[in-house]
Structure 1
Amino acid sequence: MTAANAAPASVLLPDREGNPELVRLGPPAAWPRPSRPLASRSVYAAAHVIPRTWADTTPGAPGDLDWDATLAYRHEIWSYGLGVADAMDTAQRGMGLDWAATRQLIVRSAAAAKYAGGALVCGAGTDQLADSAPPSGSAGLDRVADAYREQIAVVREAGAGVVLMASRALARVATSANDYLRVYGRLLDEVDQPVILHWLGEMFDPALAGYWGSPDVSTATSTVVELINSHADKVAGIKVSLLDAAHETTLRRRLPAGVRLYTGDDFNYPELIVGDGTHHSDALLGIFAATYPAASAAVQALDAGDSEQARKILDSTQALSRTIFAAPTRYYKTGIAFVSWLNGHQPGFTMLDGLHGARPLAHLVEVFRQTDQAGLLCDPELAAHRMRTLLAVHGWPA
């Protein structure tokens, strides 16, 4: 049988009741790589990391990465014209990737970006303070600021752009909006080029509840707008991950000219990126680490003036994204790594901190189905083989 008339790949999957169902996989979509730089939107995929095959992935163990596979994945994203947002929460900052490994990741990714000519921004945070709670009051705020400064220096010395990540340490120490304005204001006064701010909601990290000094989103938003207005020349944009499309569209209208809103809304990104004809969001998304070929095709359509086609493409990936980012949302990284493994970008379905076990088999089966339906299984035969292996390991069918 020739490749042209070969039977489609198939796999026996459990349905929602656990009964066997033969599923024939569709062919991968023909996602074109761009022939010129993407222009109509600034788009970053927040990339995940891949541990060594023999790495100790016990929770709390030092991050031990397969550097070849981790960097090859970034080259794959760059080949589709997207930028890479590295050392972010998708890379398991605070969930398995310690600061020593993060420092290496930033340096190595920056060298790879320079070689590939790819856009790169990296997270600068305060997670080196994880084992020592900062003191309260001004001394604590100063220690948090110093931790940020250390990481900003690493990112800038590597040659990457800076994303000022939301800080668990600052959330513990700050007692008011003024404390946030004090720390961020000092850092923005000092940076040598505009940075991207980072507002990560508590659904992604419960330790960030009440960020910007208030549990009320409207009040917190006023603080963010005050900070940006007072440092507009030092803020390239703000990534907002609150999973609230109405809030995001309101906020982006309040931003000063030249300050981008990078959507981090993995539920509602199609409407936010395409926009309303007057305003739109740019993107810095974890889901784009799994759907980057489709994301690239959508932006290429926007570049060609075809917003209807762009929306159609992005809509085709939305069900997959909503499944991967389903509550508890902080475990979305498991789905990102799972899709990477299905597509042959890593030798095993393993993650730092043992997070490959953070989602049940039923969830992974649904991710598999929806990845296929979105045309994002680049080698259906390989994906089917790996899915059968995973099902067998889990004892299905019994």
Structure 2
Amino acid sequence: MTLLLPRADGTTRAYEPRRAPSRVAPAGSSPLTSRTVFSAAHVVADPYADVSPDSPAAVDWDATLAFRRHLWAQGLGVAEAMDTAQRGMGLDWKGAAELITRSAAEARSVGGTIACGAGTDQLTEPADLPTVRSAYEEQLTLVESSGAQVILMASRALASAAKSPDDYLETYGHLLRQASEPVILHWLGPMFDPALTGYWGSDDLDAATETFLEVITAHPDKVDGIKISLLDPGREIALRRRLPDGVRCYTGDDFNYPELIAGDDQGFSHALLGIFDPLAPLAAQAVRALDTGDTEAFRACLDPTVELSRHLFQPPTRFYKTGVVLLAWLAGHQTHFTMVGGLQSARSLPHLARAYELADGLGLFPDPLLAETRMKSLLTTYGVQQ
């Protein structure tokens, strides 16, 4: 069957979907050894819940946890309650807390690796620094009590309350001293969340980097690693070369991840990526090649996926979740294309059509006919007659 896919100029073009099943190798049972790899996982909405975009998130817990088992089966870790899970964009702290508790329990039951975001999103009004710190402490305690590793997330409230780099140094220093185990520090750039502009006390990224490094070097025993989401590979490489021994760099660069994970003669990045939600099987296959020392096979597997990732994460980048959930539906991981907060409407139909085409070309769909049928139904719903 030929699909008519819409172009941005209002015309359509014929596309012939692939017929062959996914080219991805079956999931291996052995753990990944050369890199630590987390997939930031999306949540599955409950499509039958009678909610509005302003309502608390209604989550389909069975489907959400099933998707995490899919990620663990590939050998990947799950980065839970991050921005990919629509944290701060449809998923509030109450929902995130339940997600953390449920996913951490599921991880224990299957032996999966999990790290969870701790932030300050229970604060819905402007707050002073002591209040921000208390909010962080509440979430830090919950994540640790769940048995998961802590990802100390960037905070909109802290970005608003902080007046200088010293406010960041004091706040993070206090939290790291309290942490029971080493945490992952998360620097999320303003392209992912405009409210985080000027994080670490400066709009100048060089100055912000120095403050960030000062936090790390003051507490190297409490920092497992850093997650950088600035979409700037040169800055990430320069920063990882300055990290104290034993502190890892987890790339969050959804534009340049193959080269950053492959690394160079001075080091490499591990991964904590939203794009590894739809790419999980290919990501695992690629890293297993890297485990054998075959960098060429690793790049051959992941390099072709960059076009899809750059498409999903194109500006406004924070709406990449819509494409991620579309691909999960097309791949058969959920029965519908509905998102918490109604964010299935956050990308245009031409954008979604191109995401389908790129993913189909990569052989990402285990059942191409199912993906084709579902894409046809979406196109028809939008008025593109086939």
What's the TM-score, normalizing by structure 2?
0.97
Q: How many residues align structurally?
A: 384
Q: From 69, 84, 89, give the equivalent of 1:90.
A: 84
2:269 corresponds, among 257, 281, 286, to 281
Contact 2:4/2:12, CA 8 A, preserved across alignment: no
Tell me, in whole angstroms, the C-alpha distance in 1 between the residues paired with 2:24 and 2:253: 26
- 2:68 aligned partner: 74
Spell out, residue by residue over 1:245-279, the C-alpha distance to the aligned partner (whole angstroms, 9 max, x if none): 00000000000011011100000001000011331
- What amino acid sits opposite 1:181 in the alignment? L
> Who is 2:179 aligned against?
191
1:21 counterpart = 2:14: yes
Change in Cα spacing, 1:142 to 1:155, as seen in structure 2 (3 Å) is same
Q: Which amino acid aligns with 1:69?
A: A
In structure 2, which of residues 166, 191, 195 is the aligned counterpart of residue 178 of structure 1? 166
Structure 1 spans left out of the alignment, 5+ residues = 1-8, 135-139
State yes or no: 1:343 paired with 2:337.
Answer: no
One-letter identity of the residue aligned with 2:29: S
Alignment partners' CA distance in 2, 1:97 and 1:321: 23
The Cα offsets for residues 126-148 of structure 1, whole Å up to 9 and x where unpaired, read as: 00002x221xxxxx111111101
Instruction: Establish whether residue 152 from structure 1 lines up as the match of residue 146 from structure 2.
Output: no
- Secondary structure, aligned partner of 2:279: helix
Q: Does the 8 Å contact 1:26/1:375 carry over to 2?
A: no
Aligned residue in 2 for 1:12: 4
Deviation readout 1:297-342 (Å, 9 max, x if unpaired):
1110010110010011110211110000000000000011000010
The answer to whether structure 1 residue 382 and structure 2 residue 370 are counterparts is yes
1:56 Cα shift?
A: 4.1
Structure 1 Cα separation of the partners of residues 314 and 302 of structure 2: 18
2:126 is aligned to 133
- Give distance in 1, aligned partners of 2:172 and 2:85: 23
Q: Which amino acid aligns with 2:176?
A: L
Matched residues in 1 for 2:305 and 2:199: separation?
A: 30
> CA shift at 1:24, angstroms?
2.8
Are the equivalent residues in 2 in contact too, given 1:26–1:373 (CA < 8 A)?
no
Shift of 1:58: 2.4
SS at match of 1:48: coil
Shift of residue 345 of structure 1?
1.1
- 2:156 corresponds to which letter in structure 1? R
Query: Within 2, Cα distance between the matches of 1:225 and 1:383?
Result: 45
Cα distance, 1:11 vs. partner? 3.0
In structure 2, what is the Cα distance between the partners aligned to 1:164 and 1:157?
15
Query: What code does the residue aligned with 1:347 have?
Result: T
2:24 and 2:178 map into 1 onto residues whose CA distance is: 46
Please say if residues 53 and 347 of structure 1, whose CA atoms lie closer than 8 Å, have aligned partners that are also in contact. Answer: no
Counterpart CA distance in 2 for 1:64 and 1:159 is: 25
What's the counterpart of residue 49 of structure 2? Answer: 55
Asked if residue 395 in structure 1 is aligned to residue 383 in structure 2, the reply is yes
Conserved? CA contact 2:24–2:281, under 8 Å = no
> Cα distance, 1:108 vs. partner?
0.3
- Coordinate RMSD, CA, aligned: 1.2
Where do residues 1-398 of structure 1 align in structure 2 (5 Å cutoff)?
10-15=2-7, 18-27=11-20, 28-130=22-124, 132-134=125-127, 140-397=128-385
Shift of 1:397: 2.6
Aligned-residue offset at 1:116: 1.1
1:57 CA drift (Å): 4.9
Q: Which residue of 2 aligns with 1:6?
A: none
CA, structure 1 residues 214+56, in 2 after alignment: closer, same or farther (shift >3 Å)?
farther
Question: Does the CA-based 8 Å contact 2:17-2:360 persist in structure 1?
Answer: no
AA of the residue aligned to 1:265: D
- Where do 5+ consecutive residues of structure 2 fail to align? none
Superposition deviation, residue 26 in structure 1: 4.6
Shift of 1:15: 5.0
Alpha-carbon distance in 1 for matches of 2:139, 2:19: 44
Q: Supply the distance in 1 between the matched residues of 2:15 and 2:306 (Cα, whole angstroms).
A: 24
User: Once the two structures are aligned, what percentage of the paired residues are identical?
Assistant: 54
Matched residue type, 2:12: N
**Cα deviation, residue 13, structure 1:** 2.5
| Residues 104-113 or 13-22, more deviating | 13-22
Q: CA deviation at 1:347?
A: 1.4
